[in-house]
Amino acid sequence: MLRDILEKRKGKSKDVLSTAATVSAASGNEGKNIPEIPDNMWKKCNFCGKPILTEDVRKNLYRCPRCGGYFRVHAYRRVEILCDEGSFEEWDKDMPFVNPLDFPGYKAKTEATREKFKLNEAVISGLCRINGEAAVLCVCDGRFIMSSMGHNVGEKITRAIEKATEMRLPIVIYCCSGGARMQEGIISLMQMAKTAQAIKRHHDAGLLYISVLTNPTTGGVTASFAMLGDVILAEPKALIGFAGPRVIEQTIRQKLPEGFQKSEFLLKHGFVDAIVGREEQREVISRLIKMHDRDEIEKALKSFNAKKDVNEAERTADEAKPGAELTAWERVNLSRDPKRPTAKDYIDILFDDFTELHGDRCFGDDGAVIGGTAYFHGLPVTVIAQQKGKNTKDNILRNFGMPLPEGYRKALRLMKEAGDFGRPVICFIDTPGAYPGMESEERGQGEAIARCLYEMSGIKVPVLSIVIGEGGSGGALALAVSNEVWMLENAIYSILSPEGFASILYKDSKKAPEASEVMKITASDLKSLGVIEKIIREDEPASAKNIAELSKRMDEEIADFFGRYKDKSPEEMTAERYDRFRSF
C-alpha cells in the first residue's frame, strides 16, 4: 500500500518527504502568529449540539442556524425584533425592590441579579409601535430568577394593562416564566388575581390582548395572564404548562411522552390560536392588532362601498336567471362530489390575509371547522367554515367535514370574539352533519350545537351564512343562525340526509333518491319556503374550472350584503335575526 511505503520513507529520512527538518529553521517566526479563536465566537446549540456562530444566531433571530431550535431572547433584544426602531418607550424602569415576607437573602440575590443582567426586574413594559401600530408591550426575561412572578412583575404588568385600558390601546405580553416567585410566597400568588382582573377590565373596554407564549411558560403565569389573551400565540416547541413536567412525572410516576406540553401539543388541544415563527411575529401581531381595532372596523363597515365596480342591473338580472334543470337527487350527488370546491378554495379567492385561529380553549382543535380573521375588500371580517378534505389523508384530518363538539366550540369562540370587536361574520357551510361518534357524545355535541344557536342569535354584528355543499341538519344550522342564509344552486340543506330520511320513513335507505324529491332540500325549494334568501347560480356545477367565476358572483353578492347592513344598529341586526327565525 502506498500509505505504508510513504510512511516508512517519512520515518527513515526526515527530509525526503517531511518538512520537519526545515521547520526548526523557520520556527524563529513561530509565536508571532498564533491562531486564537475569540471567546464567544462559537456556541454549541443546546438542541442539536452542533457548533454555531454567535453572529449567525443573532442574525437568525436567536435561533440555531442549523436545526432551527429557538433560544431564549433577552427582553430588550425581543423589543428590537418586534418593535419599530426606536419606538419603545419604557415604563416603570426603576421600580424599587420589595421583600413582602422579609425573606432572608432575597434582597442580596435580587441586587446581584439586577447588577449581572442590568435589568430591574423579570419583565419590562412600555409603549411601542409594531409595524406602525401603537401598542402597550410587556416582555418577560427568563434570566431574572427564571422570570418568576413576584410583586414587581405583577405590578409592572398590571400597571401596563391599566394604562393600556386608559389609553385605549391593545396590549401584547411576551410570556416566559417558571411560575411564582417563591421568596414572595402568598403575595406572589395574589399577582395572578391582580393581573387577571386587570385584563378583564381591559377586555370589557373592547380592547385586544395578545399573549405570546415563549419557552418556558409555566405555573402561576400560565394560570393567569398568559392564558387570557383574546388571541394566544406561541413560539414553536415552547414548553407551556401549569405543572412542570418533572412535578407531573414524580406525581404520576410515569414518563411523559415526547412533545408533551409543547406548543404543538397545546395547539392540538385547543389552547393556542397559532404557532408563529419569530420571523413572522411582527407581521402577524400587527395584522391582528388591525383586525381588532373596533373603531377602525366600524369606520370600514360604515364607509364600505358596495358598488365598487358592479353593474347593479347586471347583478340583479344575473340573479333572476333560471338555473339548470336537475333532479333533487342529482343535486344531492353534486353537493357531495369530492371534486366540488371546499370552503378554503372560496376563502382564498374571496378574502385577503386570512389568518387562521385555532382551538376551542377547552379540549381540542377540530379540523372540520376552520376560522379566522381576513379582509373582504379592506373590511375586517371573521370567516368560519366547515372544511372537507381533498383526499383521504386530508379527509382524515378534516374528519370528512363532520365537526366534533370542539369544532362548534371553536366556531362559537370566534363568533363571540368577532361580536366583541365589531367584526362581521361570514360562515361557509359544507357538512354531511355533526360527527356522530362516542367522543362527540362524551363531550356534549348537543350542548355545543345548542350553544351556537343560542349565542349566535345575540351577536351584535352582521352575520351571513352560505351553504356551499351539504347543509346537513343541526350540524349545519349551528353556523346558520344568521341575518341571511344563501345557497349555491347545487347545494342542499336538510333536516337529515335523504338516506336517513328514507330509512326512517320508508324503512329502506336505498329509497334516498325518491326521498330527496319530497324533502324540499334544493336551493330553489328552500327559497320558496323562505328558509334562504338567495341562490348563487352555478352555470355549470361548481368545480376548480369555474370557481373564479362563481367566486366573482359571490363577491358581488357579499359586497351587496354589507351595503345593505352597514348602517344597521346592533339592535336592529339582532332583532332582524330574531324575527327571521321567529317566523318559522
- Grid coordinates belonging to 332: 344531492
For other proteins, the closer of residues 5 and 313 by Cβ is: 5
For other proteins, the closer of residues 2 and 313 by Cβ is: 2
Q: Which residue, 523, 514, 529, is CA-closest to 493? A: 523
Task: Quote the least distance from Cβ 8 to other proteins, whole Å.
Answer: 12
Single out the residue of 11, 12, 13, 23 in contact with other proteins (rule: CB under 8 A): 23
| Count of residues engaged in binding other proteins, rule: CB under 8 A | 27
Task: Quote the least distance from Cβ 555 to other proteins, whole Å.
Answer: 24
Task: Quote the least distance from Cβ 19 to other proteins, whole Å.
Answer: 5
Residue 115 makes contact with other proteins by CB under 8 A: no
For other proteins, the closer of residues 11 and 259 by Cβ is: 11
CA distance 186 to 193: 12
Q: Which residues contact 558 (CB under 8 A, 6 or more apart)?
A: 350, 376, 426, 464
Question: Among the candidate windows 15-23, 221-229, 324-332, 343-351, which touches other proteins by CB under 8 A?
Answer: 15-23
Helix H or strand E encompassing 51: strand 51-53
Task: Quote the least distance from Cβ 53 to other proteins, whole Å.
Answer: 8
Task: Quote the least distance from Cβ 16 to other proteins, whole Å.
Answer: 10
- Grid coordinates belonging to 103: 425573606
Cα 151 from chain centre:
31
Cβ proximity of 100 and 184 under 8 Å: yes
Cβ proximity of 123 and 141 under 8 Å: yes
Q: Which residues contact 263 (CB under 8 A, 6 or more apart)?
A: 213, 234, 235, 236, 237, 238, 240, 272, 275
For other proteins, the closer of residues 28 and 257 by Cβ is: 28
Angle between helices 281-291 and 75-82 (to 10 degrees): 70
Distances (CA, A) of 442 to 87, 275, 328, 448, 475: 50, 28, 35, 11, 17
- Grid coordinates belonging to 356: 387562521
For other proteins, the closer of residues 29 and 569 by Cβ is: 29
Single out the residue of 13, 30, 89, 436 in contact with other proteins (rule: CB under 8 A): 30
Single out the residue of 11, 12, 53, 317 in contact with other proteins (rule: CB under 8 A): 53
Helix (H, G, I), strand (E, B) or coil at 496: coil
Residue 6 makes contact with other proteins by CB under 8 A: yes
For other proteins, the closer of residues 32 and 253 by Cβ is: 32
Of 379-398, which residues contact other proteins (CB under 8 A)? none
Single out the residue of 11, 12, 13, 41 in contact with other proteins (rule: CB under 8 A): 41
Cβ proximity of 148 and 182 under 8 Å: yes
Task: Quote the least distance from Cβ 353 to other proteins, whole Å.
Answer: 21
Residue 20 makes contact with other proteins by CB under 8 A: yes
Residue 8 makes contact with other proteins by CB under 8 A: no
CA geometry: angle at 411 spanning 405 and 415, to 5°? 145
Single out the residue of 11, 12, 13, 17 in contact with other proteins (rule: CB under 8 A): 17
Structure-derived torsion over alpha carbons of residues 188, 192, 198, 202, reported in degrees to the nearest 10 = 140
Single out the residue of 22, 197, 250, 316 in contact with other proteins (rule: CB under 8 A): 22
Single out the residue of 3, 302, 321, 507 in contact with other proteins (rule: CB under 8 A): 3
Single out the residue of 36, 39, 94, 571 in contact with other proteins (rule: CB under 8 A): 36
Cα 405 from chain centre:
19
DSSP state of 21: H
Single out the residue of 11, 12, 13, 19 in contact with other proteins (rule: CB under 8 A): 19
DSSP state of 184: G
What are the φ/ψ torsions at residue 318 (nearest 5 degrees)? -60, -45
Distances (CA, A) of 158 to 49, 341, 540: 39, 48, 59
For other proteins, the closer of residues 28 and 322 by Cβ is: 28
Task: Quote the least distance from Cβ 515 to other proteins, whole Å.
Answer: 49
Residue 33 makes contact with other proteins by CB under 8 A: yes
Task: Quote the least distance from Cβ 50 to other proteins, whole Å.
Answer: 8
Task: Quote the least distance from Cβ 28 to other proteins, whole Å.
Answer: 9
Q: Which residues contact 583 (CB under 8 A, 6 or more apart)?
A: 530
For other proteins, the closer of residues 30 and 312 by Cβ is: 30
Single out the residue of 51, 259, 378, 530 in contact with other proteins (rule: CB under 8 A): 51
For other proteins, the closer of residues 29 and 391 by Cβ is: 29
Task: Quote the least distance from Cβ 130 to other proteins, whole Å.
Answer: 31
Question: Among the candidate windows 22-30, 337-345, 378-386, 523-531, which touches other proteins by CB under 8 A?
Answer: 22-30
- Neighbour count for residue 312 (Cβ, 10 Å): 11
Residue 67 makes contact with other proteins by CB under 8 A: no
Q: For every residue of 81-140, which 3-state class applies, written as one string?
A: HHCCCCCCEEECCCCCCCCCCCCCCHHHHHHHHHHHHCCCCCEEEEEEEECCEEEEEEEE
Task: Quote the least distance from Cβ 25 to other proteins, whole Å.
Answer: 7
Q: Cell 413536567 appears where?
A: 245
Task: Quote the least distance from Cβ 192 to other proteins, whole Å.
Answer: 45
Q: Cell 421583600 appears where?
A: 99
For other proteins, the closer of residues 40 and 251 by Cβ is: 40
Question: Among the candidate windows 17-25, 103-111, 251-259, 397-405, which touches other proteins by CB under 8 A?
Answer: 17-25
How buried is 236 (Cβ within 10 angstroms: 0-12 exposed, 13-18 middle, 19+ buried)? Answer: middle
The H-assigned helical ranges of 168-272 are: 185-204, 219-222, 245-252, 263-268
Task: Quote the least distance from Cβ 230 to other proteins, whole Å.
Answer: 38
Residue 39 makes contact with other proteins by CB under 8 A: no
For other proteins, the closer of residues 26 and 548 by Cβ is: 26
Q: Which residue, 344, 62, 343, 353, is CA-closest to 214? A: 62
Single out the residue of 8, 38, 258, 392 in contact with other proteins (rule: CB under 8 A): 38
Residue 46 makes contact with other proteins by CB under 8 A: no
* Contact residues for other proteins, defined by CB under 8 A: 1-3, 6-7, 17-20, 22-23, 25-27, 29-30, 33-38, 41-42, 51-53
